[in-house]
Amino acid sequence: MPALKVTAPAKTILFGEHAVVYGHPAIAIPVNQLKTTITIQPNPWGASNQITIHAPDIGLSTALEELPNQHPFSTAFSVVMQHLGMTTYPACTVKINSTIPIASGLGSSASLSVALIKAFSQFAGADLPSQTLIDLSFQLETIYHGTPSGIDNSVIALNQGILFQKGKPVQALNSAKPLPIVIANSGVAGNTKQAVAGVRESWQHNKPYFDALFQKIGSTTWEALQALENGDEIRLGQLMNSNHRDLQTLRVSHPKIDRLVETALKHDALGAKLCGGGLGGNMICLIHAEQAGEIQKALMQAGAAQTYLTQVESREI
């Protein structure tokens, strides 16, 4: 059995986070500058089911069987074993690395889930179709995030821009031209589970108000899809700003995120918003390519911990 290496990207949400949990559409893209990498080396002299895990980023080096059942590594392993109907697994050493900042809204946990499912299944000789990869990684996401929409693991498993709506087939993004996006990490740890739970609590207290707000975010997303297809980055920027104001109303932004959004706009970004679960984490802004250096510098001066340059592009699913 040969050694194996798999990767899974990070992601960012361009439009529609939170509303997507309530059945509205959202647009997400993979961020391949950041990724989870898993390598599996066979141990030809080891006994079956002897699996060693090395995850130096979190200081973990252990036998898989020593981990609690609820640990992401153990859960991913059992989900794959169950799906493939296997009871024994070849002895191996699994090394897990990630360059995705955690608690940042960039999908570190979904990327880990997808990479683990891909690695454990491929090492066992199974090349899972993307829908199976999405379904199995969603099982992990529900364990860690309570009531996720499924957008994070879908965009990461497909590794391409998507329009996602719960219960509907995923649609490939069709952007008329590549659109540069700067991502800035506020350095404040976000908490998607807490943010999603907080929004649910608000919704439960005033359903008509929040349903209308989710509906408005959904309409913004549909309009953004049109603007992407038409290559209308001016309108796209305006829609991003509107989406950010709605996320502020949902109380999932953070003063540091708002400061970074204001900084980007002051430096003539076309639009800017929080991305992902919020309460910290990252923001994104849509820019003209030639502005990248200046805007990244301004965001760092305004307190960003890190910035990344990526772009929206089209590929077939």
Q: Does 140 bind ligand MEV (CB under 6 A)?
A: no
Q: Which among 30-38, 56-64, 148-156, 209-217 is the span making contact with ligand MEV, rule CB under 6 A?
A: 148-156
Nearest approach, Cβ of residue 20 and ligand MEV (Å): 5
Rounded CA-CA distance 158/88 in Å is 29
- Spell out the residues 6+ positions from residue 250 whose beta carbon is closer than 8 angstroms to its own: 18, 199, 202, 210, 213
We find the least distance from the C-beta atom of residue 9 to ligand MEV, in angstroms, to be: 14
Interaction between residue 246 and ligand MEV (CB under 6 A): no
What is the token pair recorded at 278? 């919020």
Q: Which stretch binds ligand MEV (CB under 6 A): 13-21, 52-60, 204-212, 299-307?
A: 13-21
Give the type of residue at 285.
C
Q: Around Cβ 297, how many Cβ atoms within 10 Å?
A: 13
Rounded to whole angstroms, the Cα distance separating 313 from 132 reads 25
250 makes contact with ligand MEV (CB under 6 A): no
From residue 251, how far is each of 190, 200, 203, 211, 277 by CA, in Å?
13, 12, 12, 15, 11
285 or 302: CB nearest ligand MEV: 285
**Binder among 8, 15, 17, 242 for ligand MEV (CB under 6 A):** 17
Quick check: 21 binds ligand MEV (CB under 6 A)?
yes
- Residues 134 and 103: beta-carbon distance below 8 Å: no
Q: Does 254 bind ligand MEV (CB under 6 A)?
A: no
CB of 7 to ligand MEV, least distance (A): 19
Among 73, 277, 286, 287, binds ligand MEV (CB under 6 A): 277
User: What DSSP letter does each residue of 66-87 carry, written as one string?
Assistant: GS-TTSHHHHHHHHHHHHHT-S
Of residues 86 through 105, those in contact with ligand MEV by CB under 6 A are 105
Is residue 152 part of the annotated active site? The answer reads yes
Residue 64 and residue 43: Cα distance in Å, rounded?
Answer: 14
The least CB distance from residue 202 to ligand MEV, in Å, is 14
Q: What is the nearest approach in angstroms of ligand MEV to the Cβ of residue 18?
A: 5
Interface with ligand MEV includes 198 (CB under 6 A)? no
For helices 151-158 and 108-123, what crossing angle results, to 10°? 50
Q: Which of 152, 211, 232, 246 is catalytic?
A: 152
Stretch of residues binding ligand MEV (CB under 6 A), selected from 145-153, 208-216, 235-243, 285-293: 145-153
Q: If we measure between CA atoms, which residue out of 220, 173, 207, 168 comes closest to residue 12? A: 173
Structure tokens at 71: 């640990």
**Chain residues that interact with ligand MEV, rule: CB under 6 A:** 13, 17-18, 20-21, 105, 148-149, 151-152, 192, 196, 276-277
Q: Would you name the residues annotated as active-site residues? A: 152
